[in-house]
Amino acid sequence: MTVTARLRVVIADDERPARSFLASLLRSFDDVELVGEAANGAEALQLIESEKPDLALLDLQMPELDGLSVVRLLRGRHPPLVAFVTAYDEYAVRAFEVNAVDYLLKPVSAARLREALNRAQERLEQADLRAEGLRQARAAASEYDQARPAERLERLPIRRGEEILLLPVGQIASIVADGELLHVTTARNERYTITYRLKDLEGRLDPARFIRLGRGELANVDLIARVNAMPGGTYVVVLQNGQLLPVSRIQSRILRDRLLRL
């Protein structure tokens, strides 16, 4: 990006007045081009990948697919810089400050928006800072998930080609960690892969519904068909979809106390 190029920006907010207000502020700056507006997270994801903006201003709280979920689902070689827009939220402020991700508190002032735009322009002129932007945004998302009061997840957003599947958690049979990826298997044996930390996701799932089987495995208690005893006091869980999952020694004691006692 050259110094004279205009900053290409998209905004996403499910509240029309807030979105219109932010759009009017952006249009008042000569060095900014507003290339699109989204009314929800799914629209934001599609808009970002089609327009390839320099900066995405994402509302933190949107139904179904919020700003954090958009960041987690982004793909491509040149993701935009991200700034979250939110009503005051002490957990969000803490997470974003720790990870050096910009955030704007509602109602957004022209001066504060100008500061965020200047910061984005400076980052775009340094390739290493631009490349670091998405990593920092995802780190902020994880930090926020850990800091805020637990809000039970009812649907898990999953990328499937150009679509966003909102998978009801009750249909999830197992979740298995593989490095930074999570492999999600449904009751119908459908398999999906998402980028999420298992610890963060476990904290948002109902502990009465899901049980940890080992360091990197969770299973839906309602979809456990049987439990096979193994030598050494461990178990293998057999799910209704036929999936077999070994249980660690420590978790075997927990599973025994929770599920195998009358």
Average confidence (pLDDT) over 11-15? 95
How far, rounded to the nearest angstrom, does the alpha carbon of residue 37 sit from its chain's CA centroid? 20
Q: Which amino acid is at 245?
A: L
Backbone φ and ψ for 234, nearest 5 degrees, come out as: -105, 180
Taken in order 230, 236, 237, 240, the sign of the CA dihedral is negative
pLDDT tens track for 137-186: 878 877 777 777 667 889 999 988 878 899 999 999 999 999 889 999 99
Which helix (H) or strand (E) segment is 224 a member of?
A: strand 224-229
79, two tokens: 């993701």
What confidence tier does 98 reach under pLDDT thresholds 50, 70, 90?
A: low
Q: Is the pLDDT of residue 218 over 60?
A: yes
Residues with Cβ < 8 Å from 248, sequence gap 6 or more?
A: 213, 214, 215, 234
Write down the pLDDT at residue 150.
64
Cβ-contact 240, 223 below 8 angstroms: yes
Task: Name the one residue in this structure whose structure tokens are 């022209």.
Answer: 110
pLDDT tens track for 32-46: 999 999 999 999 999
Taken in order of first residue, the domains within the chain and their CATH numbers are 7-147 (3.40.50.2300), 155-259 (2.40.50.1020)
157-160 contact pairs (CB < 8 A, 24+): 157/41, 157/64, 157/65, 157/69, 157/72, 157/73, 158/184, 158/192, 158/194, 159/73, 159/75, 159/194, 160/192
Structural Rg of the chain based on CA atoms:
21
Cβ-contact 82, 140 below 8 angstroms: no
